[in-house]
């Protein structure tokens, strides 16, 4: 039985990865410091014979006894409300954490896949975004701690591959949604649904003309699994190229939830990207991957998940969307 270490295992994506790799017959070691993760996301795995959880911060030395075949590095704050509150930890997990895990991969002769992001493209001047585009990023802006941490991750990963022959993979993840997202994580989809469920008006930052491309979590997890087993070391975009403006998306949420909320507009945060759409040509050619779940179906499933949350959980998220978010 092969063994995989998944960091950020109690997070949104990490917990779904634990599910997938257990289903594929691997022994899964989940690791998380719980700074943004939630044990509720993996409590259904506690009785699984081949699942183990370690409460640990990967920014500190990581020791895993025995053989290790794969490492998936998904530990990181991943939304503005998180990385603007904890900027130093965000930088550390992208730098020290990545260095520690690459060193572990080297010592174990394990294959490592690191989770990069579409944020490496910044506020792009090329559309849609293709992997050969170097990006347009403000390194000292409020989002720089996240953007540059991820860009460093990619550089460090490629260096370990080039100079130490470590077997590496780099995935650039575009906007993803689905069950186990946090309502208060600051991203537009849970924010809109949370506001609709609480009967609040939907808040758009900027004029709503900025675009996003939303990928359902099951599709993304499948792309990650296929990339891990593909023969490529270069970055690969994984996301859904179906692009929509934020204003259009707000209307979709209002229709989905059957509510009658208004849309209100506030100032656009600094360095917020105006366009997000992945070019997934490389993923199609190298992985044979493309998204299968359309947005209407994915949103329906996600909405049902959020509806199942308790009223207390919904109240906890009230008024804290983009709390502390630095604006122009």
What is the domain partition of the chain in residue ranges?
Answer: 3-176+215-238, 179-213+242-271+293-316
pLDDT digits (tens, 9 = 90+) for 101-134: 999 999 999 999 999 999 999 999 999 999 999 9
Rounded CA separation 138/153 (Å)? 17
- The pLDDT-based confidence of 313 (bands split at 50, 70, 90) is low
pLDDT at 147 over 50: yes
pLDDT at 311 over 80: no
Q: Which of 70, 83, 146, 160 is catalytic?
A: 146
The question of whether 146 is a catalytic residue gets the answer yes
pLDDT-above-70 percentage for the chain? 94
Token pair 């092969």 is at which residue?
A: 2
Sort strands 243-245 and 176-177 into parallel, antiparallel or unpaired.
unpaired
- The pLDDT-based confidence of 325 (bands split at 50, 70, 90) is very low
Provide the CATH number for the domain formed by 3-176+215-238 in this structure.
3.40.50.720
| CA nearest to 253, candidates 182, 195, 176, 316 | 195
Per DSSP, 86 falls in state: S
pLDDT digits (tens, 9 = 90+) for 253-298: 999 999 888 899 998 877 778 889 999 999 999 999 999 999 999 9
Q: Residue 268: its pLDDT value, please?
A: 82
Alpha helix segments (H runs only) across 24-143: 80-83, 87-108
Provide the CATH topology of domain 179-213+242-271+293-316.
Answer: UDP-galactose 4-epimerase; domain 1 (3.90.25)
- The pLDDT-based confidence of 65 (bands split at 50, 70, 90) is very high
Alpha helix segments (H runs only) across 168-294: 188-197, 217-228, 246-257, 281-287
Whole-structure pTM value: 0.93
Q: Residue 315: its pLDDT value, please?
A: 64
pLDDT digits (tens, 9 = 90+) for 25-49: 999 999 999 999 999 999 999 999 9
Q: Residue 183: its pLDDT value, please?
A: 84
pLDDT at 314 over 70: no
Average pLDDT of the chain is: 92
Rounded CA separation 185/306 (Å)? 13
pLDDT-above-90 percentage for the chain? 83
């Amino acid at each position: 039985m092969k063994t995989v270490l998944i960091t950020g295992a109690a997070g949104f994506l990490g917990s779904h990865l634990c599910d997938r790799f257990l289903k594929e017959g691997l022994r899964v070691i989940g690791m998380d410091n719980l700074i943004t993760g939630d044990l509720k996301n993996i409590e259904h795995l506690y009785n699984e014979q081949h699942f183990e959880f370690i409460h640990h911060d990967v920014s500190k030395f990581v020791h895993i006894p025995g053989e290790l075949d794969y490492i998936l590095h998904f530990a990181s704050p991943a939304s503005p409300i998180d990385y603007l509150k904890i900027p130093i930890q965000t930088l550390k997990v992208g730098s020290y954490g990545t260095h520690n895990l690459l060193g572990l991969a080297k010592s174990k002769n394990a294959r490592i896949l690191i989770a990069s992001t579409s944020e490496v493209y910044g506020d792009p001047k090329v559309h849609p975004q293709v992997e050969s585009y170097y990006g347009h990023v403000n390194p000292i802006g409020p989002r720089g701690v996240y953007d540059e941490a991820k860009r460093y991750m990619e550089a460090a990963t490629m260096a370990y591959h080039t100079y130490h022959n470590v077997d590496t993979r780099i995935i650039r993840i575009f906007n993803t949604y689905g069950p186990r997202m946090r309502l208060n994580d600051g991203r537009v989809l849970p924010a809109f649904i949370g506001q609709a469920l609480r009967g609040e008006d939907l808040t758009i930052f900027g004029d709503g003309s900025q675009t996003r491309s939303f990928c359902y979590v099951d599709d993304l997890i499948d792309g990650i699994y296929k990339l891990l087993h593909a023969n490529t070391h270069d970055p690969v975009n994984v996301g859904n190229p179906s692009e929509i403006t934020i204003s259009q998306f707000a209307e979709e949420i209002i229709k989905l939830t059957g509510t009658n909320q208004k849309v209100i507009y506030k100032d656009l945060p600094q360095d917020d990207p105006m366009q997000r759409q992945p070019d997934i040509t490389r993923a199609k050619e190298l992985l044979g991957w493309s998204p299968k779940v359309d947005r209407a179906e994915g949103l329906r499933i996600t909405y049902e998940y959020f509806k199942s949350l308790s009223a207390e959980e919904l109240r906890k998220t009230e008024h804290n969307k983009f709390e502390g978010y630095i604006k122009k």
